Each structure stands twice: as C-alpha cells, then as structure tokens.
Structure 1
C-alpha cells in the first residue's frame, strides 16, 4: 500500500472516530483529545500499543474528563462538563477538526514520515500544549514510555491478521477494523440476521429476520427509506429489494453473507466475509467484499471501471467497519 493511500485511510478512520467521540459531548469540533480517543480504538499498530498498556476506551474517556475538570479547577471554575451521551455523528452534520488537530495530521504525513496511525501518535504525544502528556499521566504512563512501547509494534499499518487468499475469477476489497468488545459479542452481532441493518448500510428492513440462521437460508431485505439524519433515501426500483443468504458460519471466528439484487438482472451478488480474532482490548476484524468478474465486452468495461468500483466498495466496507465499532461504544 502506498504512503498516500495509507495516510488517506488513516486520516479518514481517525477523523470519523474522533468526531464520533466529540458528538457524544454535543461538540462539532474534534480536538486532539478526541484524536487520542480515536487512537485507542484504531486497528493499526498505534491502537494495539495503547491497548497493550492497559489503556481501553473507557479508561481513556475518564482520563480526558478528569483532565478537563482539572483545567477548569486551575482557572478557579467550579463546574463539570455535560454528561456524555450516545454517538450522534452519523445523525448530524457540521463537524470539523480544530486547527491544531488538522495541522498535526498533516505533519504526520510530511517528508520522511509514514502518515500511518503510529506517525500520528508520535506527533500527538509531542504536541506542545502538554494535554496528551497530562492525559497519559492520568493513565499511569508517559509519552516516552508509550513511544518506546510503540516500537514493539513498529511495522507500518501493522496487520494483525493474515491477508485473505485471492480467488481466481473474483475481484475483492478488504479492510481491517477493531471493536472494543469480546469476540463472542461481535460474532453475535454479525450472525444475527435481524441485526444486519446495524452494519450493512444498504439494508433498512429484513423480512422474517427471526428465522434460524443456518447456512443456505435466504432472507429478503429492503433498502432504507431514510438516512440516520432523517433525510429521504432515493433508490432506483430495481435496487430496492435485496436477497440475503448466509453462506458460512464458523463460530466465533468467521462468517459470510451474500447480498444480491434479485430485480437487477445483470448484477452480481456480493459476498461479504468477516474474519475475527481476539486481540488486546477487544476483537480485530478483517472484512472483505468480493464479486465475480464479468466476461466478454462487459468484462472489458468492468475492467476499465474497476478502480472506481473498488473505491465505492472500500467506502461501503469503511461504513460497515465503522458501524460495527460504533455498536460497542
């Protein structure tokens, strides 16, 4: 993976997680403390380094809250921040980075720097305000100790799972994500057909979702009629109905679902596969979408459009991974 792609994907994942954390407090601007919280649940080496030090999302949130309270007290202000609620980022808009946070991300991808989460974390702990150092102190560690520990997870992007095998005649795109929950809990989410709308953005309702989930069973789903923010979704009639088939289920390590468009004659079903492994602080997931390649002149057109197609599939994967992560936060 190129440095540019790695930096772009890192920025995207950190931005989403940080702004989700800010949204719990009713904020529209994500700052460096929210970036730190996003680091704790990051799937790359930076997140694994933090979690291996015993820093989980709950303890990190408490440390940030305590530091904010101490800052107010130092100003002679006897007050507390509003109690955090649920994540509402996906239901609202108008979010942005603070200037120092956006500058920090840009700096992490500068000359001689990898632009991955580890590079962002190095810039974060060196940030001159000392805020992150104070938060780390509440968590029982120091910037130097964290950076030394980070070197043990040094590979760029630090994949914790083996790459999925390529299948002849199929095109695939995959990502990794982290969920701060036990593997069994993540499995239960992914194996329950009634909960598919929680992580598959293209499905809003499923018929007969209470039926037993056994391989070969097929359900019928329908596209959502509105976005989480209430705005209506425009869907072409032939893409309104979905077929959903459970292809394989090996508890608790892997599961695969096939999603098709029965009213779109020339569409190919998309196979969505999940591989789960237990890791420090939760579960590491590999999510892969794959589909059969076309042949003949349609195959030539598909080949020319493949980079664009892969981009859209990556966006869908990113949305799925983010939804899974959000479920357990």
Structure 2
C-alpha cells in the first residue's frame, strides 16, 4: 500500500523536477527554479539561464542557491553566445597585439520579445556606464534607438579574460544615420580607463572605416558623430584620424550632469578621402585632407583642426 502511494509521487517528481521558487531570484528578475535531486531527496535553486547567479530576498547568495558568476569562457571558437542577454559574440579578424580579441555583437531574438530586448538594452547601458565611468548616466533610449536602427556593435575583450560579458575593454556602437542612408553614425565609443593608450580606440575606428568601405556599394559615403564641445581629448583624437568639424549644435546633447556642456560639434569623415585604413590615426597620409575641409572646419566650428 505504501509503495503504491510512494511510486506515483516519485514519478511525479522525476517527470516535473522544477518548480518556481519565489524566495530566490535570478539576475534577470525572474524567480529561480527549485530543482529536485533524486539522489539526496533535496531541492536546490537554479536559474533558468545557465551560469546566471541567483540571490535570496536579502540579496545574499548561499551554497544552497548554487550562485556562480555569469561567464563566457574565452576559447578558439569563432562565436560565443551569452544566454542572459541573447547576444552572440562573433570573432572578427586576428587578435590585436596578441592581447585582445575583437568581436561583433550580434543581437539574437526569441519569442519573449519584451524581456529579450530589456536584457539587451540593460547590457549595453551597463557596459557604457562602466566604460565611460558614469554610474548614473542614462544611455537607455539612445542605445535602443541606435541598435534598432540597423545597429552594429564591436567590442574588444582581453585574451586572458574568463568572461566576455564582464570584461569588455573597449566598445563602439554605430548605426545608419537617421533620414540619411549615406551615413554610418557612431553613437558611442569608449575604452575602459585601465585599457587606454594601447591603440584600442584607433583599432575600433579602423574597423568602422573598413565597415563603411564594405558598404560603399550600399551607398555609404560618410562616417558621422557628435562630440561634446568641451571634450578636447575626443575632438583632437578624431581630427588626427581625419574627421573634420562641419557644424555647431547648441543644446544638442541631453542636459545630464555628466556632460560638461550640452553643446556639440558634428564631425564627418568622407570615406572617399581614406587612402590607407591600416595606418589611419598614425600616418598623416592615410587620409587625404583637403584645404577646403580645414577651412570649413574653421568657419563652421571656429576650430583649427589638430593634425598628426
């Protein structure tokens, strides 16, 4: 009699080993699953996303909750997939200085569109906050606009990193310029403080120019971006790489505390002027700068372009 009752219960547990545990939550905000261990007859909490850590109501992890960091181990594979954000990391070209690996971030999709998009935008916003060292900055809507509008993202990750997602050293997001399909527009580009002055920003710009040249057949002629008028380091960097100022936009940027001012310059690179992508930002002959371009920069923006 006892066995006749126990057997169906065991069968039910084996067939349905998971149940939502509303006292333990995963990083994605969803309840963890309680997994039944047949050998020990105990339940333990796991997240639906492999490798994602979970925590209790007090925000603490414990051994019974099987907490572990979300990681994507570096390998020789050409593609890595982060299930938490539904983003595929696609390896591009050769490793940079045998120290960094370049990835294109490919946004995947699934049936949970709202949840899926939320995770992606959260990932990009948090990464930009870390790179720009602006923990309270609001990148959310700008990131969504960029990535929805034919968005492209590139990122460098150290070869010795154990996690692709958590160790992005430099990243750029670009898109098609709104209402102008002859432009690639750089929405963001930043390098983590400890990884600066190693050429990662230059290498990202070269990758962007390569992309623009590949898309010339689709009508791309220019690479455009906006820079805060007081961000002299960024302005001089882009000017040395061949960009020229073509316009002054008062109060263009969002009025946020992390902006030194909300005025911006419009910088443009004519890719027809690019003669050698691999020496971009390093050789003054890599871009054929016309005197008329320098003159226009002075007239429109009041800036004498910095050159190599």
Richer in helix (by share): 1
TM-score bin (small chain): under 0.3
- What TM-score do the two structures reach when normalised by structure 2? 0.26
Which has more strand, going by share of residues?
A: 2
State the structure with bigger RCO (CA 8 A, min sep 6), 1 or 2. 1
TM-score normalised by the chain length of structure 1: 0.25
